[in-house]
Amino acid sequence: MFGSRRNREQHRYYLLPGMGRSNRRHRRRVHAAAIIAGIIFSLLFGYLLYWLNRR
């Protein structure tokens, strides 16, 4: 009642290869690079459209 034992198996989980801290760090870096590349590409494409419409 008061000191009931917790089921340790219920809170057990296993990390598969690539699920550690270094993988999260790598994914965060790739995500940031993708966002930056998308912004640069959209700026260049927008400038190209602007330049073509001005001609």
Q: What is the pLDDT of residues 3-43, one digit of tens each?
A: 566 666 666 666 677 777 788 889 999 999 999 999 999 99
Whole-model pTM over 0.85: no
Which helix (H) or strand (E) covers residue 21, if one does?
A: helix 21-54
Amino acid 2: pLDDT: 61
Q: What distances in angstroms separate CA 50 from CA 5, 43, 44, 46, one per listed residue?
A: 69, 10, 10, 6
Distance between first and last Cα of the chain: 82
